[in-house]
Every structure is written in C-alpha cells, then in structure tokens.
Amino acid sequence: MRLSFLVLLPVSAAKITPTGSTILLNEIAYYISPHSIGNIALEEHVLDGIESAFGFSPVSVLAQETRPDDLVSVFSTWNATDDVFQPGFAQLILNETQSLGTSTTQEVEIFTQNPSTVVGYVTKSKVPKGPYLLDKETGNLHQAYRLYDDFAGAFTEALLDNNDGTFQVLSAKVVGSATLTIGVPSRLYYEPSKEKPLAGVRIAVKDIFSLAGVKQSNGNRAWYHLYPPNNVTGTAISRLVEAGAVIVGTQKLSQFATSEVATVDWVDYHSPFNPRGDGYQDPSSSSSGAGASVASYRWLDAAVGTDTGGSIRSPAGVNGVFGNRASHGIVSLDHVMPLSEPLDTVGFLVRDPALWDKLQAVMYESNYTSLASSQPKYPTDIMTVTYPNSNTEAGALLNEFAAALAKFVGGSVTTLDVANRWTSAETNSHAGLNFTETFNITYPVLTGKGQDDAVVKPFFADYAKHYDGRQPFINPSPLARWAWAANYSWDEALQNKTIFAGWFNSQILPPVDDPLQCSSSLVLYAGKTGTQSPRNRYDIALPMPFTGFSAARMSVFSGCPDFIYPLGEVSRFSNLTNHDENLPVAVGILAAKGCDGLLARLAIDLVDEGILKVPEVGGSIDGSPILF
C-alpha cells in the first residue's frame, strides 16, 4: 500500500521495532524472525499466485548444486530429520543461479499433495539451505522457527538469539495452559565445523546466568523486577554461543539455587513438572527446569545448570537424563549468581553422551581433554561408596551396573568406607579430627554464608533504597538457610573443606600421569533409587540446613568430577494414578579431579556396549507418553 499524502510528525512520535510474527502453516505454528538473513532477487511474476500471510510466503532454499534428480531424496531427508521443515515450505523452491535470464522455472512433484516450483534466484548474501519465510515485497528472507509449548513449565523466558551476542524475548505464543512458548530455528541452516562445533545445537540456560539483553530472576520475583536487563553474557555461555549453539530460553531454578521441595517451598514460581512416572514427582532442584525440559522435549538438545551440592546431579537423576558436576574451577563463573564460590560448578543436562562430550569440550576449553577420538585406558579399580545391596529392584540395577562396568574395564569392584579411611594416621595427617564432627556443618555454612556479600547484602540494600527501607520477599528455604548460617565461621568451614580436598585428591582418588587413564580409580555411589516424592505433599519438615556427610558430598568438597548416568527404572505403585509407574534409577560416578573427559567418553562407550541407554523423552526413559 502506498500513502498518497505524507503527514509530517515529530521524529520522536513513533519508534517501531519489529519483534517477529507468527503464522500457522498447515496448522503448525511458526515464528518469523524479525532479522533478515539475506536479500534475493527472483524473476518477475514467479511469486504471482503464491500464497502469503501479511506479505510472507513459505519457501525452501536449496543447497548449492542440488541436481533436479536429487530433489525427492533431499526433501524427504529434510522432512524426516528437521522438525521445522514441512512439505508446506516446498511449494516454491529457490535455486541460486548466476543470472536470472539463464534460469529455468520448472514444476516438479516432490510431495504428492502439492506440486512444487523450482525457480532461480540471485543474491549477494550467503543463504544457508532450509525453510524460510520470504517477504514478497522486499525479497528479504527470514528464518523460520518452529514453536513449542513449554508444557513442563520449565522456562522463565523464551528467547530469540540475535546472533550478535545479544538476545531478545521471543514474541510468540501457541496454545498452552499458563505456559510459555519456545521457538527453535531449523536445523538445516547449520553445518557443524571445526570453528562452530555446536552449530544449531539448541540449549536452554538456568536463570542465574547473565545473558546480554535479558532480565534475570535467580528464581526471585523481587530481583526480577528490581534490576534492568543484563548487558553482558559471561564466559561459560559465550563459549557456547561462539561455537554456534542457539540459546532458546532461560529456565526455572529453586530460589537462589538453594534446594527446595515441590510444591511447598516454591512460593515465587511454580516448580517445573518432572515428566517421568505419574507426572507428579518432584523434579528436584536447583536446576529443576533443566532436568524437566531435557526429559520432556526432543526439540531441546541440552540445558546448562550449576551444581554446588547436587543441583545438576539430583535433577538429572530424578528426571532420568545424564548430568555432570564438573571439576571445580574448570571454567570461570563470571556473571553467574554465586551460591558458594569454593563449591560452585557449571555443567550440562543431556540425553546424548556424544553431544555431552562436545558441549564440555567447548565450555571448558583447555581444561577439558576430550577422549572421543582416542582409546582410553580405563582405571580397573572400581570402588563403591554406601552402595545398596541387590535386595531391592534399584539395588539390583546399581549392582548389575557395577559388575558390567568392572567387566568392561577388566577390573574389579571393592567397597570404600570414606570415614573409616579418614582415621588412618599413615595416610592422613588430620586423622585425629573426628570425621563426623569435622564435616557435619561444612556444607551448610559454605552455602548459607556464600551469598552474603555477593548477592544478599547488595540486593537488600538496593531494594531498601528503592522501596523506602523495605525487605524483598524471599522464599522460606533460602531465608532459613541464610539465617541458620549467620552465626558460624566461613573461614573454619573453608579450612575443613580444604583439608578434605587435600586428603581425598591425594589418598583416595588421585590422578595418574597418563592422560588416557587420568584417574587412579572410578568411584560409584547410588545417585537416585526411584524413591517417590510426590509434589502434592504437605508433610515435609521446614527447610533445614543440610548437615552431615554423604557420598554426594565427596565431589563437592574435593572438587573432582561427579557424573550422573541414568541406569534404568523401577516400578512403583502410585497412589495418585492407582497404577504402577516407572521411576528412574541413576548411578553417580567419580574420577580424579580434571578427568571430566574420561567420564564423558565412558558414557559413550557404555552406550555402545548396551550397558547404558540413551534416555528418551517421555513418561519413561523408554519414551512412553507423558501423563497429564
């Protein structure tokens, strides 16, 4: 439409910023990115009669040098492997050519329902293959995003990656019950390369990482509303983005990354839904959105979480996916909200161990040795800590795994009693310290006080300044743990932690000099045993400090890597569905500090051996439907 009269207005009267649009193509919802990927010219009249919605028409761009004979197989591969492409994009097929005069327009039959037209185009841009929305008037090509409902309630914000280091909110909504809509770009646009090993990998990020252009919540509403959008993306996430990963949104966590029980503790935001079993089990915390989403959505490849005392391992375990607590210090935690700096780590929740290795190689750079293309010499010494016997279904799975692992590495299984080994004066200069007493409150002191200076004090001061001296609302769990820790000594707790690390990393799980072996032993413990924890419980204790020592604390104090592998499931009678339901069982596996790559490669090998399985999304790790 052309305006015949110009009305002159002050320049400041209307600032219009496009935020993308949505369409339905054959009843499937797509988002049209506001960013154009390139401009093309077509022969006149080829767009006549091509359907469009507010000026946009679905088209497909061919890879260079696609031959006419290959069209049927190319499109059937696209349709089978990419969740964004669909036959509706094949009505008009664009083939790059040197000049328009020489190109030919041909009708072809690819998908029987709708004939396709192949036309030549010229461009100065480099346009990757795949489905696009073509602006008929300007010739601009816009990327197509498939839209999905976040039915697990896992996300805090849906994001559009602007591909310039910044992000904006994805302005799209599909049908859903009080949920967000997440958009993912076509996988066809991306070719992994040496420079961009994660090209097109779809990743979600726990909402404690700063992303440029995005507001952060830390799981707290007052925080979200008080502060402006972040203006920087930290080291860990920047490395993923630079390697080609696509960040699709931020995800829920229990408040300030302290553990919370669903549903009672989750006052500010509703806890995400664990898809496994009866669909009403606690997704655990604090990387709750990460675990629930990776177990629910095939369209999401991985989620980034943090683990201070189990915040990746526990959600990975109960949601039935892989998850790693990384070696402490392996990557900078700049622009990540701290819980306890000496204990905080960044890691991933994933289904596919091969991708897991690639993600770690990118994020941890030179602090990670990928063994994906070498032949590891696995340690033959397997030790179990507080491992159950085989009298229960979960115990049987854990023991079968230990035996299968020992057979695979050609080793044997022994038991390790950490507290007992501590008392040996020959190997421990601190053996005189009572183990139980020394490590009873180390963790709750380090976490309860760890946010004081970096998070709590400045937040309370900023809030008070803004709201006439008021205090912000804090969920019961972080509030109780901060208050409990207030009267204990940080320095003493840090000293105890440091003593443990020195002993454990030299006497119990030392590294070995050979990078193909890396670790002297592998240590196993029961990650999760399929215990029910329905989210409609009222009968839970008030939030308490996490005192005492457990197998899951070994890596926390020593800084060694601690990976969760899903092993299988056990059947439990659910009194919510009046039916038996499957719940995941997981092993925790430790190697010496710095041996993260060994544990990722081991997961790949154990999948190849049939000892582990790649978990499916769904109501069970075999992929059954999710119950609602």
Ligand X SMILES: *[C@@H]1O[C@H](CO)[C@@H](O)[C@H](O)[C@H]1NC(C)=O
Judged by beta carbon, residue 97 or residue 179, the one nearer ligand X is 97
Which of 189-197, 240-248, 291-299, 428-436 is the region at the interface with ligand X (rule: CB under 6 A)? 428-436
Q: Which of residues 314-333 bind ligand X (CB under 6 A)?
A: 329-332
Parallel, antiparallel, or unpaired for β 130-135 and 140-149?
antiparallel
- Which is it for the CA torsion 95, 97, 101, 103, positive or negative? negative
Are the CB atoms for 212 and 220 separated by under 8 Å? no
Out of 97, 123, 163, 550, the residue judged to bind ligand X by CB under 6 A: 97
| Residue 445 in contact with ligand X, rule: CB under 6 A | yes
Query: Which residue lies nearer to ligand X by CB, 435 or 565?
Result: 435
Select the residue interacting with ligand X from 52, 392, 440, 550 (CB under 6 A): 440
Instruction: Report the nearest approach of ligand X to the CB of residue 307 (Å).
Output: 16
Which of residues 2, 67, 124, 126 is near ligand X by CB under 6 A? 67
Shortest distance, position 87 Cβ to ligand X, whole Å: 5
> Which residue's C-beta sits nearest to ligand X?
329
Q: At closest approach, how far in Å is the CB of 165 from ligand X?
A: 13
- The tokens describing 21, both together, are 């649009």
Q: Quick check: bond before 286 cis, omega within 30?
A: yes
Quick one: 461 or 483, whose CB is closer to ligand X?
483
* Minimum distance from residue 4 beta carbon to ligand X (Å): 42
Q: Scanning residues 135 to 154, which ones bind ligand X (CB under 6 A)?
A: none
Q: How many CA atoms lie within 13 A of 533 on its CB side?
A: 22
Instruction: State the nearest-atom distance from the C-beta of 452 to ligand X, in Å.
Output: 14
Q: Which stretch binds ligand X (CB under 6 A): 60-68, 272-280, 472-480, 522-530?
A: 60-68
> From CA 621, how far away is CA 569, in angstroms rounded?
8
Q: Does 555 bind ligand X (CB under 6 A)?
A: no
331/474 with CB nearer ligand X: 331
* Nearest-approach distance from CB 483 to ligand X, in angstroms: 5
**Measured from the CB atom, is 441 or 592 closer to ligand X?**
441
Question: Which of residues 25, 33, 37, 87 is near ligand X by CB under 6 A?
Answer: 87
Tell me how far apart the alpha carbons of residues 196 and 190 are, in angstroms, rounded to a whole number.
Answer: 9
- In 137-270, DSSP assigns E strands to 140-149, 155-161, 167-169, 181-185, 202-206, 246-251
Name the minimum Å distance from CB 506 to ligand X. 18
Helix, coil or strand: residue 321? coil
Exposure letters 194-223 (e unless 16+ CB within 10 A, then b)? eebebbbbbbbbbbbbbbbbbbbbbbbbbb
Other CB atoms within 10 Å distance of the CB of residue 602: 26
Does position 437 bind ligand X by CB under 6 A?
A: yes
With a CB cutoff of 8 Å and minimum separation 6, the contacts of 612 are 353, 565, 566, 567, 603, 606
Question: Angle, nearest 10°, between helix axes 442-450 and 476-485?
Answer: 110
How many whole angstroms separate alpha carbon 284 and alpha carbon 314? 6
Does 365 participate in binding ligand X (rule CB under 6 A)?
yes
Assign 85 to helix, strand or coil. Answer: coil
Shortest distance (Å) from residue 359 CB to ligand X? 14
Residues 472-531 contacting ligand X, CB under 6 A: 483-484, 486-489, 492-493, 496
Are 58 and 131 a contacting pair, CB within 8 Å? yes
- Binding segment for ligand X (CB under 6 A), chosen from 146-154, 211-219, 432-440, 474-482, is 432-440
Residues in binding contact with ligand X, number by CB under 6 A? 41
Least separation in angstroms between residue 5's CB and ligand X is 41
Structure tokens at 69: 């004979």
Query: Any contact of residue 404 with ligand X (CB under 6 A)?
Result: no
Q: Which is nearer to ligand X, 252 or 481 (CB)?
A: 481
Binding span for ligand X by CB under 6 A among 40-48, 272-280, 359-367, 618-626 = 359-367
Q: Which is nearer to ligand X, 521 or 529 (CB)?
A: 529
Residue closer to ligand X (CB basis): 76 or 386: 76
CB closer to ligand X, 226 vs 433: 433
Decide if residue 433 touches ligand X (CB under 6 A): yes
Does 264 engage in binding with ligand X (CB under 6 A)? no
CA distance 57 to 36: 14
* 165 touches ligand X (CB under 6 A): no
d(CA 512, CA 377): 11
Q: Strands across the sheet with 322-325, in order? A: 167-169, 155-161, 246-251, 202-206, 302-307, 345-350, 322-325, 562-574, 579-590, 522-529, 381-384, 412-415
Indicate whether 72 belongs to the interface with ligand X (CB under 6 A).
Answer: no
Taking CB under 6 A as the binding criterion, the range among 45-53, 180-188, 363-371, 503-511 that sits at the site for ligand X is: 363-371
| Spatial contact of 291 and 281, defined as CB atoms under 8 Å apart | no
- Nearest one of 47, 34, 159 to 92, comparing CA atoms: 47
* Smallest separation, CB 565 to ligand X (Å): 25
CA distances from 374 to 311, 601, 602 (A): 31, 9, 12
Site residues (CB under 6 A) for ligand X, limited to 528-547 = 532, 534, 547
CA-CA distance, 290 to 325, in Å (whole number)? 14
Binding stretches for ligand X (CB under 6 A): 66-68, 71, 76, 79, 87, 95, 97, 111, 118, 231, 329-332, 365-367, 433-434, 436-438, 440-442, 445, 483-484, 486-489, 492-493, 496, 532, 534, 547, 575
